[in-house]
Amino acid sequence: MSRRFVHRAVRRVLALATAALLLTFGTMSSAQADIVSSSTAPSVRMLTYNACGAQCAHTGVSADTWADTIKTAMDNWSADSVMLTEICYGQYAALRDRLTDYAPAWYRTSNGPAGCGKWGSDLRFGLAIFVKTPSVERLTVPLPDNPEDGNPRGLLCAKGAIEGNMTLSCVTHLSHIGDAGRLAQAKKVREQVASWAGTLPVILGGDFNASPTSEEMSQFYGFQGGTGVFGEVDETDQDYFPSSCTGLYCRSGETTHANGKLDYIFVSADHFKTVQGDAMGKTENMSDHNLLRGAAAWE
């Protein structure tokens, strides 16, 4: 990250934990006591969520119920860019059909996970983005094969205006096993996003299956040993700083899965400031991941 972004990083505004301010995912409260309020957060709003579309049971949750829950989360947060991983086509279609103010983008990474059958007859599985804008340009690329992981991986981006600024919104899902394979995928994501973005602002979200201090995440973070050009929305949550971090920012953040912080929302340091983030509480029968929401201001 450029040094000017480091100096711009500020401590998150902590809202009062009252019922009036609990903008929750579904009906659950935030996973932690500190709440980033929609009344104080910067205007550019993002969500990322691993939908666990094929693997989780989703007992009693229909495609319509699932889509209504996600739409509520989007509405509560006034989300500009929504980045979804592990999503079955039936889920994507149900959500797409409910959204009138968003341009959709879909990328099939694989065909036929049996678990997608609960959402309908179309078994396609992959990534999705919704951007609050009239239209987007869809960009996709497969990621390098990982010999330790038979699941195809990919990168989906959607180029469209957010608050009048042409922006590249991207989502990816890196391998859950095989450090070397995951690192190769991370490097490809970094390279391809840079190529597609040029000088445009970038929002990059998804499930990276790696800890904040890993070599894979060093491809994206622009400080504390990272060689990337991004800040991450939850880098100022001091409740989760390790003892080695004593300033206003750190490669850390709230857990989004039982295995730690795996989900991220990065923003390009040259275009955004005043990042804020929260991992929301899990909603029953939706996913094994927390929904992560973030906000940033234009530079």
Confidence of residue 30 (pLDDT cuts 50, 70, 90): very low
pLDDT band at 19 (very low <50, low <70, confident <90, very high): very low
CB within 8 Å of 69: residues ≥ 6 apart? 25, 26, 61, 283, 286
Please write the tens of the pLDDT for every residue from 221-247: 999 999 999 999 999 999 999 999 988
- Check residue 34 and give its pLDDT: 53
Pairing between strand 81-88 and 44-50?
parallel
Per the prediction, the chain carries an average pLDDT of: 90
Q: Please report which confidence band the pLDDT of residue 3 belongs to, taking 50, 70 and 90 as the band edges.
A: very low
In sign, the C-alpha dihedral spanning 268, 269, 275, 281 is positive
Q: Which fold has domain 3-298?
A: Deoxyribonuclease I; Chain A (3.60.10)
CB 248 within 8 A of CB 205: no
Q: Which of 71, 175, 161, 88 is nearest to 127 (CA)?
A: 88
Tokens (6 digits) for 90: 């039936």
Q: Tell me what pLDDT residue 36 has.
A: 81
pLDDT in tens, 251-288: 999 999 999 999 999 999 999 999 999 999 999 999 99
Binning pLDDT at 50, 70 and 90, where does residue 7 land?
very low
Q: Calculate the CA dihedral of residues 180, 183, 189, 191 and round it to 10 degrees.
A: -100
Q: What's this model's pTM, rounded to 2 decimal places?
A: 0.90
pLDDT (0 to 100) of residue 2: 43
The stretch 49-56 carries a mean pLDDT of 97
Domain boundaries, the chain: 3-298
**Of 24-28, 113-117, 158-162, which range is least confident?**
24-28
Query: What percentage of residues in the chain have a pLDDT greater than 90?
Result: 84
Q: What pLDDT shows up at residue 38?
A: 86
* Spatial CB neighbours of 105, under 8 Å, sequence gap ≥ 6: 128, 129, 130, 131, 136, 138, 156, 157, 158
Token duo for residue 191: 């390279």
Instruction: Report CA torsion sign: 66, 266, 143, 199.
Output: positive
